[in-house]
Amino acid sequence: MSAATDRRPRRVAGVYRPPVNATRMPTPRPGPLAQLVRTANTLRAQIERDVLRDEGLTWTTYDVLVLVCARRAVETRTAAVEVGIAKATLTNALVSLVDRGLVRRQLQEDDRRRVVLRPTQGGMDLARRVQGRVEAEQARLFGEPGMPSGDSLARVLRTLATRSQRDSTTGEPGAAR
């Protein structure tokens, strides 16, 4: 192999110098999933700042409170799964909600190891009030021209979530682990 055809990278004074005519790799760009997650994080932070902070709630405590109010009675492990948080995170959120008198914990009648969450009247009132403000903010965001309706977007996101969960349980290639 002559020096003219030698394609090995050259080292000059310990610094890597790629070949001049090497093909360049495309610049990494965020894909649609990364954009979706970034957008969701931005919207969540905005809702927390503009709506929930005034009521002393975080997104997690709001989500747990609305779930408990909608179900009227839900086991802690079911609540954690449905909200998509760890049980320890649920415990921390419940400390705040129970201390404020918004949710009650009760032992289940037939299995005293399980805990059932029930809303208080104060919790129901707060959830209604805050949910109205969250929905108003949602309507403002989706009311712009060219935006899909909130329902159609929610339907697409539910489909993605369901497909992702189904793929992870079947062990298909590309499934979430």
Q: pLDDT tens track of the chain, all 177 residues? A: 555 555 665 555 667 766 677 677 788 888 888 888 898 899 899 999 999 999 999 999 999 999 999 999 999 999 999 999 999 999 999 999 999 999 999 987 887 788 999 999 999 999 999 999 998 988 888 787 877 776 787 788 888 888 887 766 665 544 444
Write the single-letter amino acid at 171: G
- Say what the pLDDT of residue 177 is: 41
Q: Which two tokens stand for residue 47?
A: 């809702």
Yes or no: say if 79 and 72 are a contact pair by the CB < 8 Å rule. no
pTM given for the model: 0.71
pLDDT at 145: 80
| Tokens read off for 27 | 């610049």
The 10 Å Cβ neighbour count of residue 78 is 14
Beta strands in the chain (DSSP E): 10-12, 15-17, 74-75, 103-107, 115-119
| Consecutive H or E run containing 155 | helix 150-170
Type of residue found at 116: V
